[in-house]
Structure 1
Amino acid sequence: MPDAAPHPMTPQDCLVALMIAVSASDENMRTAELVKIESAVNMLPIFSDYDIDRMRVITDLVFDLFEQEDGLDALFGLLRDNLPERLNETAYALACDVAAADGTLREEELRLLEEIRYELDIDRLHAAAIERGARARHLRA
């Protein structure tokens, strides 16, 4: 596949892949989730030098992985190999924001967030604070 993401992935690629994975986890990428991902990439300092065209390549990579039996494990392997540990909480915060973006946390999203917490070794207290912040940011009137 000529458009495959070159290895290694950048830390920003890893963050985008994780956000896409959360959005796709329930097999229905909602508009609010996609807007949240695009907004994060356009606004957050971590993405200041990110090539926005990479998003399509990374999205295709995540979809290709999700079609494989052990695709989620492969995604976590890519994260372990290419995401600096100092960005683990950032990654989890972005994942929580995408999951909360449409106002509903579905079972698949909750399971994936649990796996992300485990894989990224997010401390329980820190995870609770990150989750509470995402919930507060996405409340509706």
Structure 2
Amino acid sequence: MTEQIEHSLTPQDCLVAVMIAVSASDEDIRTAELVKIESAVNNLPIFADYDMDRVGVVSRTVFDLFSVEDGLDALFGLIRSDLPERLNETAYALACDVGAADGNLNERELRLLEELRYELNIDRLHAAAIERGARARHMTL
């Protein structure tokens, strides 16, 4: 018998969950990734009325889901059901920014971004543009 974890997310929660999932995908949450998540929540218009305390709740939800079999599929199911389709590219852009924040996208992060691209039905050309923008924003000398 598998444990059932039920959650309901706001659209902003979904965006935060996507960012946390990318950060946690390699089981090594880096400071640069956390700073990127906090910066996004504090500065982007989509989060203007978002309660920063929800980040902790959403983090626990993501970690709970990652701790059970098929948890990633469950997370994708929540995101598909609770995130308005018009925010799919926003979610993917935020995920790419978090992945690129530390200057290195490892295999697990790349795989999660690929799955996210598929789950959110992001057109390949649009995804390439979003990925290119994230890379450009996180370039170093």
Identity of paired residues, percent?
A: 79
Gapped regions of structure 1 (runs ≥ 5):
1-5
| Residue aligning to 2:53 | 53
| Runs of 4+ deviating beyond 4 Å | none
> What is the TM-score when the length of structure 1 is the normalising length?
0.95
**How big is the shift at 1:69?**
1.0
**How big is the shift at 1:49?**
0.2
| Residue aligning to 1:113 | 113
> What is the TM-score when the length of structure 2 is the normalising length?
0.95
Gapped regions of structure 2 (runs ≥ 5):
1-5
* 1: CA distance, partners of 2:7 / 2:67: 20
* 2: CA distance, partners of 1:63 / 1:9: 15
* 2: CA distance, partners of 1:120 / 1:72: 14
| Residue aligning to 1:16 | 16
Query: CA deviation digits over 1:87-131, x for unaligned, max 9?
Result: 000000000000000000000000000000000000010000000
Q: Does the CA-based 8 Å contact 2:7-2:61 persist in structure 1?
A: no
* 1: CA distance, partners of 2:107 / 2:124: 20
